[in-house]
Amino acid sequence: MKRNLKKSIISMIIVLMLFLSGCGGSENKTGKNTEKETVKKERSYKKKAKKEKKEKKEDKENKETEEENKKLNTSKLSLGNIEDGVYISKMLNLRFDAKSNNMEVYYESEFMGEFSDAITDRSDIEDIDKRLDDEYYMVSDMHAIDISDPTRTVDIFIYKDPDVRNIYDYTKKVIKEFEEDPIEDDNETMDIHSSSGVIAGKKVPGIEISWKSEYEGIEMPGYYEKQLYFKIEEYIVEISACCYDEEDAQKLFDIFEDAKNTDSNRKTKPEKDDIVKERSRFARGEIKDSVYTSNMLNMQCDISKKHMIFSTQEELELMGNPPDREIKDYIDSGNMYIDMMAHDVTYDNTIVIMVSKSREETKEEETTETYFDEEDNKTVELTKKKINFLGEDFISRSTVETYSDGEKSYKKYIFIPYGEYTLIALAMGRDQEFVENAFDIFTLAK
């Protein structure tokens, strides 16, 4: 009986277990499906949230990039403006003070004259933009030229190239075009490679091009150009400097300033009562009517006060002066360049301004001596001392040369250091009073 009861109980337990197993299996299956759906939904939500988070991050980065671009430049085509010798680039937010750097600046129509494709109406941006759709068309936004050395120029060009992804690809494209169609002949060789420069404190990619030429076996002075590029949407803005070398190009690029921070970044200008200017690069002087103005020193002279006339460019070339493009190389090679020469009608008395790279004379000690020059058969009385010239003290050298026939000649030099150069003011002639007082006609430039 007990055994049967036990058996019945076991059977009931087995049946119950089987029943519970069946029900439990169904519930478990449903639970698993529910859990699976929950996980699926959770994963989908996380994926969506992650995607939205990524999109928000990208939107934020894009907005930040756009804001940064807006700070650096505008997002559409606009031409610059020139006022009182100062050019402002609206696309680049740059300022170029040509007037303060002895340069003249022009719009395209002013220096291209009546060329058919020169922009005359700079306000018609829509028309200009249509012109730029032609891949061979470009706008010259600004042209600046050094007054004392016309071989030094700065240009800004704008053109379209929507297919270029970035400025580095554009640089490679330009180099390839030059290499495929080089601008050279049998007597001229060209070198082009990628480079960079600094504009308003920022490094800008670009290229540099140099040409060298030969004439009858003699190497002639070369030509150098550096082009820096900015990409603004589909537009390319090129800043080009044509000059002597890479160092000279950077000096021209250094004129550019951030247009927004001009007042805080601008260097203090040298006082007008200083004869030596802040800059120290070579610059040829100017002559207007009877007045010579040095563009290296803050001085000028009116030769009409001494009833004198200027020597012509042709006369100076006969005395050894080189053509314009060769001047800097000529001086750097150790030669002395005549920046100005004036004389009276008899050529007996002369005033000369010369430029040299020698600095020996500016360091000479004060002394007085007399010696005999056997080659020219003359006795020379030499005096070296410091004298005041336009408010500053400089070393001076005076000589009295007496020839065997008793004739006398007088010379007076003033040596003025200027960066790596020395400017030499010389008065010479047979009239002692003229030589002694020759520099009285010099004044500080107005």
Answer yes or no: is 389 within a domain: yes
Same domain, 248 and 328: no
Element (H, E) at 37: helix 2-72
Question: Is 227 within 8 Å of 240 (Cβ atoms)?
Answer: yes
Q: Show which of 208, 230, 265 is a domain's final residue.
A: 265
Kindly give, in sequence order, each residue whose CB lies less than 8 Å from that of residue 279, ignoring residues fewer than 6 positions away: 101, 419
Same domain, 344 and 420: yes
* Dihedral angle, C-alpha 255, 256, 259, 263, nearest 10 °: -30
Same domain, 349 and 212: no
Same domain, 144 and 258: yes
Its domain, for residue 329, covers 286-444
Closest CA to 244 of 305, 326, 183: 326
Answer yes or no: is 385 within a domain: yes
Taken in order 319, 325, 328, 332, is the CA torsion positive or negative? negative
In a 3-state reduction of DSSP, which class is residue 375? coil
Answer yes or no: is 4 within a domain: no
d(C-alpha 71, C-alpha 61), whole Å: 15
Question: Is 79 within 8 Å of 90 (Cβ atoms)?
Answer: yes
Answer yes or no: is 17 within a domain: no
Name beta bridge partners: 270: none
Can you give 58-79 as a three-state secondary structure string? HHHHHHHHHHHHHHHCCCCCCC
Closest CA to 441 of 323, 294, 291: 291
CATH at residue 303: 3.40.1000
Closest CA to 237 of 158, 177, 125, 303: 158
Answer yes or no: is 299 within a domain: yes
Tell me, what's the pLDDT at 29? 42
Same domain, 259 and 292: no
Tell me the per-residue pLDDT of 79-134, one tens digit each, with 9 for 90 and over: 889 998 999 998 999 999 999 998 999 887 655 544 456 666 777 888 888 888 88
Answer yes or no: is 73 within a domain: no
Same domain, 107 and 226: yes
CATH at residue 201: 3.40.1000.10
In a 3-state reduction of DSSP, which class is residue 222? strand
How many CA atoms, within 13 angstroms, populate the side-chain half-sphere of residue 181? 3
The DSSP 8-state label assigned to residue 439 in this structure reads: G
- The Cα-based distances of 259 to 78, 199, 201, 262, 270 in angstroms read 15, 12, 12, 5, 22
Q: Show which of 236, 265, 294 is a domain's final residue.
A: 265
Total count of residues recorded for the chain: 446
Tell me, what's the pLDDT at 60? 58
Number of H helices, E strands in the chain: 9, 23
Structurally, how many domains does the chain consist of? Answer: 2
Same domain, 234 and 97: yes
Name beta bridge partners: 87: 82, 96
Same domain, 218 and 326: no
Residue written as tokens 């247009």? 259
Amino acid type, 186: D
d(C-alpha 169, C-alpha 173), whole Å: 6
- The count of other CB atoms within 10 Å of the CB of residue 258 is 17
Answer yes or no: is 238 within a domain: yes
Displacement of CA 437 from its chain's centroid (Å) = 42
d(C-alpha 54, C-alpha 61), whole Å: 10
Same domain, 85 and 227: yes
d(C-alpha 225, C-alpha 209), whole Å: 5
- The count of other CB atoms within 10 Å of the CB of residue 309 is 13
pLDDT along the chain (446 residues), means of 10: 41 43 44 44 47 54 50 64 91 93 81 56 81 82 87 91 86 88 70 91 92 70 87 92 91 92 49 53 87 90 93 91 85 92 92 89 84 92 93 92 93 92 94 94 86
Taken in order 164, 165, 167, 171, is the CA torsion positive or negative? negative
d(C-alpha 330, C-alpha 317), whole Å: 12
Same domain, 224 and 353: no
Same domain, 248 and 365: no
Tell me, what's the pLDDT at 414? 95
The DSSP 8-state label assigned to residue 364 in this structure reads: P
Tell me the per-residue pLDDT of 395-429, one tens digit each, with 9 for 90 and over: 999 999 999 999 999 999 999 998 888 999 999 99
In a 3-state reduction of DSSP, which class is residue 132? coil
Tell me, what's the pLDDT at 221? 60
The two tokens of residue 113 are 């004259």
Answer yes or no: is 276 within a domain: no
Same domain, 290 and 249: no
Closest CA to 440 of 340, 319, 322, 305: 305
d(C-alpha 209, C-alpha 235), whole Å: 22
- The Cα-based distances of 275 to 29, 149, 257, 287 in angstroms read 99, 21, 26, 18
Closest CA to 400 of 376, 387, 415, 382: 382
